[in-house]
Amino acid sequence: MRRAEPCTAEDPCPIRCRFSNSSILRRWSVNPEAVGFSALTIVLLLVLFYGGTFFVSTRIGKKNENADGYMTAGNKIGFGISAASMTATWIWASSMYASASSGYTYGISGPIHYGLWGALMILFIYPFGKRIRKVAPKAHTLAEVMYVRHGRSSQLMLAGSNVVGSVISLMSNFIAGGVLISMLSPFNFIQGVFAVAGGVLLYTLWSGFRASVLTDFMQVIAMLGAVAIIVPFIFFAAGFPAAFETGAANLTAQQSNFFSSEAFLNQGAPYIAAVLAYAIGNQTIAQRLFAVREDLIKPTFITATIGYGAMVIGVGMLGVLALYLGFTPTGGDLNNIIPEMAASYLPGILLALFFIMIIGALSSTADSDLSALSSIMMADIYGQNIAGKKKANPKTMLLVGRLTMVAATALAVALASMQMNILDLLVFVGALWGALVFPVLASFYWKKVTNKAFTVSVIAALAVFIPVRFDLIPMTGITAVLIELLAILGIGIVLGLMAFGFFGLRPAMVIGIGASVVAAPFCFGFLRDYTTLSASLVAYSVSTIICYLMSFRSTQNFDFAVIAERAGDFDTGEQPVAAVPAGSRNSTRTAQERE
């Protein structure tokens, strides 16, 4: 084990010179003597962690596994397991890396914007979650519900977006693992990616969602304990609080301002919109929503809110510390901040604990992504679109789910070699899901929403979002004004949706309209300079406006009881027929029946 040299009077911040000198950077990359652990130590730590989780998964798997248990564990998970699983799923290695990147980029307010809004979005899930479970108590995926509610096109659109999102999430967690292992051992990045991918697949493949939630419980306990020890230790080892006085000159005026407008507009505001979209559109969240006991939804999500916020903000402060120290990450890659800070200031035993903490964080989310992808392929693709619910074979579904995990792991490993910026990926995927938020939520509350309204609104929102996000259209003249108008409406829609879950329709409309009116004078001529934020808001506004305009005159009067009867277990062999009130057959038929 090689440790960083202690600070001296002549060189109070050795990390600054160590990482800013090009020859030293090369040493970190290629010299085995400069790494944190030997190859044998890393192998033993990985075997200990993944071997232990695999052993646990073999204890909970059933000899004769069933498809419904593999996807949602019988819809009866208790408070402790479900709260820990929700926390661990939301806290991934990418969250820690991205929070530190935000702190390094935007200063003291960066981790606050990242962690606080992410935590509050977990809280905002539960009122919508209660409605979703009431409507579809036995469902496995949101897309499965959309099939009953609207039809095949809406289902595949939501399922497809989740496949893309989960593969990107899986890839970013493998990137985080590869970076960590390459920084702390003689192994290179690709070898690290393969090690993490193989370990996660090993235990998740065995018993699916059951393995994911139970190992989440162990992982989140370990992560919380590790953060409580490691973050304070690094701060004091780096010379806190003196480092914050001597390093203040390394910050710009915006980075040193707790109420930084740059941090809010580039990080906080886009993340508010992105995380709300994650909360509603992400199958990993929906899967836990369908698995937890219905009466435990509220305490589960409140507990996860507190756990996520405390851990992610705490780890993100390492990025702020690195900024004050004048630290330059290897190759300018912000994903390297956390592992390099840990390697510089932690003694051997704590560095091992740090390694397990990050591996646990990324594994807890990677196994959730694999479980989500397998559920989508089992329930949405095979169960309803290939075999049909009446003919779906549960054993074949299990095979489909396991093959999906293997294929998704291979694809994510291939994509991980690109080493894209994790923070950019998170914001992009969240904004992409913003196009789905209103159509999905409206489909659980409003009887008039049609399949055509859902499909057209989402496609139109994506058609506007992509060119705005990637600057494919000039943000000048009338075009810029129209984009800003849509973005201003998006501000009201995001805040209105948040208020709707807790307070109902009328307060939500007041808050939403009021927010747009108040924001308008400040945003015209201003938002055009912030394309990430504008694109996220435009995705919300376009999908909401079109979905509403195409639905409010609709004659459809959907009976929500049909969902509970038709979206349910695959293993029972029972296919209940919807109870249709006399004289209302046309108004309550499902989309499949009409087709």
| Inter-residue contact 475 to 550 (CB < 8 Å) | no
Closest by Cα among 301, 565, 327, 533 to 431: 533
353/210: higher pLDDT = 353
Peptide bond into 241 cis (omega under 30): yes
In whole angstroms, give the CA distance from residue 267 to residue 114.
7
Tell me the whole-structure pTM to 2 decimals: 0.76
Residue 175's SS3 state is: helix
Alpha-carbon dihedral of residues 291, 378, 146, 409, nearest 10 degrees?
80
In whole angstroms, give the CA distance from residue 357 to residue 44.
15
The residues near 222 (Cβ < 8 Å, ≥ 6 apart) are 356, 357, 360
Give the number of C-alpha atoms closer than 13 A to the C-alpha of residue 422, restricted to the C-beta side.
29
Query: Using N-to-C axis directions, what is the helix angle for 209-237 and 297-325, rounded to 10°?
Result: 30
pLDDT at 576 over 60: no
Mean pLDDT of 302-316: 88
In whole angstroms, give the CA distance from residue 68 to residue 574.
13
Mean pLDDT of 540-557: 93
3-state secondary structure 63-90: CCCCHHHHHHHHHCECHHHHHHHHHHHH
The backbone torsions φ and ψ at residue 292, rounded to the nearest 5 degrees and listed phi first, read: -70, 150
> What CATH architecture applies to the domain 39-445?
Up-down Bundle (1.20)
In whole angstroms, give the CA distance from residue 513 to residue 535.
20
> Residue 517: pLDDT band by 50, 70, 90 thresholds?
very high
> Residue 551: pLDDT band by 50, 70, 90 thresholds?
very high
Mean pLDDT of 29-51: 73
Q: What is the DSSP string of 370-396?
A: HHHHHHIIIIIIIIIIIS-TTT--HHH
Strand partners, 292: 77
In whole angstroms, give the CA distance from residue 461 to residue 444.
20
At residue 430, the pLDDT reads 62
Domain extents in the chain: 39-445, 446-561
In whole angstroms, give the CA distance from residue 216 to residue 183.
25
In whole angstroms, give the CA distance from residue 112 to residue 257.
12
Q: What angle do CA 422, 256, 106 make, to 5 degrees?
A: 15
Residue entry with tokens 């959907």:
558
At residue 294, the pLDDT reads 84
At residue 426, the pLDDT reads 60
Q: What angle do CA 314, 316, 320 make, to 5 degrees?
A: 110
| Inter-residue contact 68 to 140 (CB < 8 Å) | yes
pLDDT above 90 as % of the chain: 21
255-261, long-range: CB within 8 Å, 24+ apart, which pairs?
A: 255/106, 255/107, 255/108, 255/323, 256/107, 256/108, 257/107, 257/109, 258/108, 258/109, 258/112, 259/109, 260/106, 260/107, 260/109
Strand partners, 77: 292
In whole angstroms, give the CA distance from residue 43 to residue 418.
24
In whole angstroms, give the CA distance from residue 434 to residue 13.
43
> Residue 550: pLDDT band by 50, 70, 90 thresholds?
very high
pLDDT at 239 over 90: no
Closest by Cα among 398, 93, 82, 49 to 213: 82
CA 239 to chain centre: 34
322/96: higher pLDDT = 322
Q: How many CB atoms lie within 10 A of CB 557?
A: 11
Which of 88-97, 545-554, 562-571, 578-587 is the least confident region?
578-587
pLDDT at 75 over 90: no
Structure tokens at 229: 């020890």
